[in-house]
Chain A
């Protein structure tokens, strides 16, 4: 199958719900961020310390969930296309919380601001975290103009999910440094 359609050559693209929109549309920005986040996670998985197979699997599950998040962002509120997508509920954010708590148990309490970086896997976790925050900001802007319909409810679920995911990525960066024996770099003002 050809992956290109050529329908985007003049600055417009089709949403999953069928609308033709400018590539500068907020929704396109938002799912572009989610795509960038997903790619940063791919780089992170590639640089994970050896012996972290379970973590790699967890991250790949998150990558797969992010494809669904991207699809929700490519759907116009109330469109019939939305009924074809899986719901994004509180439970997904809760799953991230459990994973955060588990990693935190192995980390020293944080008392200072950190410089993003350290082991290459940790550095990628920070890149992913920053992109995740941007995605979240864009989704919040998307929500600003929307009513209380089903898609908006899902987008609220997306905001919660992305918010928790950036926390997860922050802790994951520290965790990656820890398992590599790399100390956190403290911010010296």
Chain B
């Protein structure tokens, strides 16, 4: 029986080699992997590792025109898999499947608002590196040292607002710094209108912002990618 043609969205299996690792902070690191020649993706999509019976997904940082693949990871203490990637020797081979997911940029007449917590910034980096500009980006982190890729994002975003939830004294020292959570900023300071919201990171943020959209920004679209 003929089934639906899913070629353009089907994930396949690939093998890759760890090329480099760079620590951004004590807990967060970036890795560079070889890009299998036939592997294609759309910015915002992710790849999946399947250690033993588990599955661990990571959003791609890099763009479809880059020759390697990049990921940005939080090294979870006593985590099952992120510490493996944090410690693997350069040259280690991994297999992955992909591309997965639908968290891609969909142009529209409404202004785009990207909201990330922590490493949830990864897909937005790929999207903006691929040429998307004119977006507002709220990045929710604990302290200013977690504002990875800040310089690049400031240069491409229409408005970049770092929201620091755990260091009130730092917020005033950085441009547009906000002392509090992204939800608080949206609720108190973001002008009511209709937007396309793209939410990525912690489930609590995604829930709170989604409910806020219904209240304060009705008619807006919500696309979400939950990390944990």
Contact = CB atoms under 8 A, between A and B. Distances in A.
Interface of A: 1-2, 4-7, 9-10, 12, 14, 16-20, 58, 61-62, 64-65, 68, 79-81, 84-88, 91-92, 94-96, 98-99
Contact of B9 (A16, A84, A94, A99): A84
A91 B106 contact: no
Contacts of B179: none
B210 A86 contact: no
B102 A16 contact: yes
Given A65-B4, A68-B4, 13 more contacts: A2-B203, A6-B211, A7-B207, A7-B222, A18-B196, A20-B214, A62-B1, A84-B104, A91-B2, A92-B4, A95-B1, A95-B3, A99-B1
Contact of B226 (A5, A85, A99): A5
A12 B221 contact: no
A81 B102 contact: yes
B6 interface: yes
Interface in B75-126: 102, 104, 106-108
A9 B211 contact: yes
B206 interface: yes
B224 A7 contact: yes
Contacts of A19: 221
Q: Which among B210, B218, B224, B228 has the greatest number of chain A C-beta atoms within 10 A?
A: B210
**Interface range, B side:** 20 to 34
Interface string B210-228: 1101100010111110111
19 contacts: A1-B57, A2-B226, A4-B203, A5-B224, A6-B203, A14-B210, A14-B222, A18-B222, A19-B221, A61-B1, A68-B6, A81-B102, A84-B9, A84-B104, A85-B9, A87-B5, A91-B2, A92-B3, A96-B1
Contacts of A7: 206-207, 210-211, 222, 224
Contact of A14 (B9, B108, B224, B227): B224
A24 to B, nearest CB: 15
B215 to A, nearest CB: 9
Q: Which among B2, B102, B104, B222 has the greatest number of chain A C-beta atoms within 10 A?
A: B2
B5 A20 contact: no
Contacts of A68: 4, 6
A64 B104 contact: no
Contact of B106 (A4, A6, A18, A65): A18
A92 B1 CA distance: 8
Interface in B1-36: 1-9
